[in-house]
Amino acid sequence: MSELETLIQLLARLPGLGPRSARRAALHLIKRRESLLEPLAAAMAKAAAAIRPCPLCGNLDTAAPCAVCRDPERDGRMICVVEDLADLWAIERSGAFRGRYHVLGGTLSALDGVGPEDLTIDRLIARAEPGQELILALNATVEGQTTAHYLADRLAGSGVRLSRLAQGVPIGGELDYLDDGTLRAALNARRAL
Ligand SMILES: [Zn+2]
């Protein structure tokens, strides 16, 4: 296979890119050899050599433990538990949380054969301390909720406090457009004014 074919095939494996857009991306890269292709290749080689998952929380960084785990300004009494790194980044972007994180690496799923040993659950149980709060920021899916229940079972009686994200009406959301499940969750989680 030619170098160009290899490049196109690898690009086509990226999320959101099919064979057609991979061809277009490859052409774009080759036309901009000095300004794009070579710097990109160098950045990818550097990233591949330097970036590692944090042994404590699963975040990606060039240092171990990661910058979040090392930051003394962060509140160590709160650990936000997320399914994957994209969720951690989303919460960081919001700027709303100044505690630490734990990336599970997925959710429990009998259907897909994902058990507790496939996730970083044991590591989470080992690092959680009495008095700490674990905020389960898991997706509102069957698998997310199964995982939350499993964690609650494993941590029962440990002195670790568990909470989860509220479910309900999104900011700027119109009631008429909400699905029944969201509306029901919002009603159940109503608060006094
Ligand atoms: Zn970390």
pLDDT in tens for each of the 193 residues of the chain?
Answer: 799 999 999 999 999 999 999 999 999 999 999 999 999 999 999 999 999 999 999 999 999 999 999 999 999 999 999 999 999 999 999 999 999 999 999 999 999 999 999 999 999 999 999 999 999 999 989 999 999 999 999 999 999 999 999 888 888 888 998 899 899 989 988 989 8
- For position 189, what pLDDT does the model report? 87
pTM: 0.82
Q: How far is the CA of 6 from the centre of ligand 1 (A)?
A: 35
- For position 168, what pLDDT does the model report? 87
Residues near ion ligand 1 (Cβ under 5 Å): 54, 56-57, 59, 65-66, 69
Strands 99-103 and 75-82: parallel
Q: How far is the CA of 42 from the centre of ligand 1 (A)?
A: 26
The CA distance from 153 to 114, in Å, is: 18
Q: How far is the CA of 81 from the centre of ligand 1 (A)?
A: 12
Residue 193: CB atoms within 10 Å: 3
